[in-house]
């Protein structure tokens, strides 16, 4: 049987290439070609969005919930391009609704960089000077500059929320009492201490267990000081009626712990929306262990290209 026979101008492939089923249907040839081409197509999804229970969701639902939140904790994987793209998309879409009621902030800037960051946002510093004067992350240009420049363009506040690394290291090396020795001026860059600390929270317990208990509680407590300080500066720069979007590593807000736990210690009535990110080999179903990481979970393929 010849494919050129006009009696068989439409055909369908079923099973394998070796099993051709010719259908005697008088349809235009281009339809047959379309079916032939799509029979072998593989849909490569860049991400799947899930709710906390592992049910598939979508961006419109995420945006709707974000509009109702006081605080949005956007938990990223630092080198994941889908995270950074969605961070910008969500920020832009929230700005359309919130305008000057939108506040931005990030783990990626340490609190004592706030003055230089403010000067850049006000147009008083060049980007070159900003990079020289702050402890800039290596992936700033690709991943965080778009967010900072969006704030600059639209005259939004951008909060440097993280504890200066030197003080977190002091807690890790010598315990939180080491902070008693720093100056009064230095203490303004840290959450009021000693902080409340729960060693049984999963986010800190797993750090302790992963380290085999080496260093005692100082290691997870140094992480807690980061979370407490970020929560402190979020609350310091948020007022009722605003929406604060905070960009942080997913571990700092997974399971509604970390930053959110500290936020709720101060203001239990806050509406906090947690977005988490997870990589899986198969993103068609959310694995059981990843359910509940956030109100929404961005699931991307393990093989996703990295930004750095």
- Summarize pLDDT for 226-252 with one digit per residue, the tens: 999 999 999 999 999 999 999 999 999
Q: Which of 38-47, 52-61, 90-99, 176-185 has the lowest mean pLDDT?
A: 38-47
Determine the pLDDT at residue 22: 36
**pLDDT band for position 278 (cuts 50, 70, 90):** very high
Confidence of residue 258 (pLDDT cuts 50, 70, 90): very high
Q: What is the pLDDT of residue 113?
A: 98
What one-character-per-residue DSSP string does 92-151 give? HHHHHHHGGGEEEEEEEEEGGGHHHHHHHHTTSS-HHHHHHHS---TTIIIIIHHHHHHH
Backbone dihedral angles phi then psi of residue 110, each to the nearest 5 degrees: -85, 150
pLDDT at residue 33, rounded to an integer: 46
Mean residue pLDDT of the chain comes to 90
Q: How many residues does the chain have?
A: 308
- Please check the confidence at residue 37 and state whether its pLDDT lies above 60: no
Q: What is the mean pLDDT of residues 97-116?
A: 98
Query: Model-level pTM?
Result: 0.87
Q: What is the pLDDT of residue 42?
A: 72
Question: Mean pLDDT throughout 181-197?
Answer: 97
- The percentage of residues in the chain with a pLDDT greater than 90, rounded to a whole number, is 85
Domains of the chain: residue spans and CATH: 6-38 (no CATH), 48-301 (3.40.50.11550)
* Alpha-carbon span 59 to 306, nearest angstrom: 22
Torsion angle (degrees, nearest 10) of CA 79, 84, 86, 90: 140
User: Is 42 in a helix, a strand, or coil?
Assistant: coil
Residues 6+ apart with CB under 8 A from 190: 111, 163, 164, 167, 179, 225, 229, 232
What is the average per-residue pLDDT within 216-228? 97
Q: What's the pLDDT band for 214 if we cut at 50, 70, 90? A: confident
State mean pLDDT over 111-136.
97
User: Structure tokens of 74?
Assistant: 């956007």
The rounded distance, in Å, linking the Cα atoms of 154 and 158 is 11
Confidence of residue 23 (pLDDT cuts 50, 70, 90): very low
């Amino acid at each position: 049987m010849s494919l050129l026979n006009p009696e068989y101008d439409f055909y369908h492939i079923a099973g394998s290439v070796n099993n051709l089923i010719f259908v005697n249907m008088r349809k235009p040839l281009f339809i047959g070609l379309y079916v032939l081409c799509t029979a072998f197509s593989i849909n490569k999804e860049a991400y799947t969005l899930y709710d906390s229970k592992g049910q598939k969701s979508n961006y419109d639902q995420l945006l709707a919930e974000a509009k109702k939140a006081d605080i949005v904790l956007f938990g990223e994987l630092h080198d994941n391009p889908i995270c950074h793209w969605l961070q910008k998309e969500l920020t832009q879409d929230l700005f359309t609704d919130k305008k000057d009621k939108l506040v931005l902030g990030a783990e990626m800037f340490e609190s004592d960089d706030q003055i230089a960051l403010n000067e850049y946002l006000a147009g008083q510093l060049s980007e070159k000077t900003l990079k020289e004067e702050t402890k800039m992350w290596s992936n700033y240009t690709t991943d965080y500059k778009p967010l900072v420049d969006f704030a600059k363009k639209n005259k939004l506040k951008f909060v440097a929320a993280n504890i200066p690394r030197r003080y977190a290291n002091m807690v890790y090396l010598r315990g939180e009492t080491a902070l008693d020795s720093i100056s009064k001026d230095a203490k303004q860059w840290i959450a009021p201490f000693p902080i409340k600390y729960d060693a049984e929270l999963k986010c800190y317990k797993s750090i302790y267990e992963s380290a085999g208990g080496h260093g005692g509680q100082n290691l997870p407590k140094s992480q807690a000081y980061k979370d407490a300080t970020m929560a402190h500066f979020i609350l310091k720069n948020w007022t009722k009626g605003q929406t604060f979007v905070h960009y942080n590593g997913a571990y700092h807000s997974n399971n509604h712990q970390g930053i959110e736990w500290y936020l709720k210690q101060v203001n239990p009535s806050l509406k906090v929306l947690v977005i988490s990110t997870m990589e899986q080999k198969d993103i068609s179903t959310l694995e059981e262990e990843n359910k509940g990481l956030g109100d929404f979970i961005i699931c991307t393929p393990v093989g996703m290209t990295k930004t750095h």
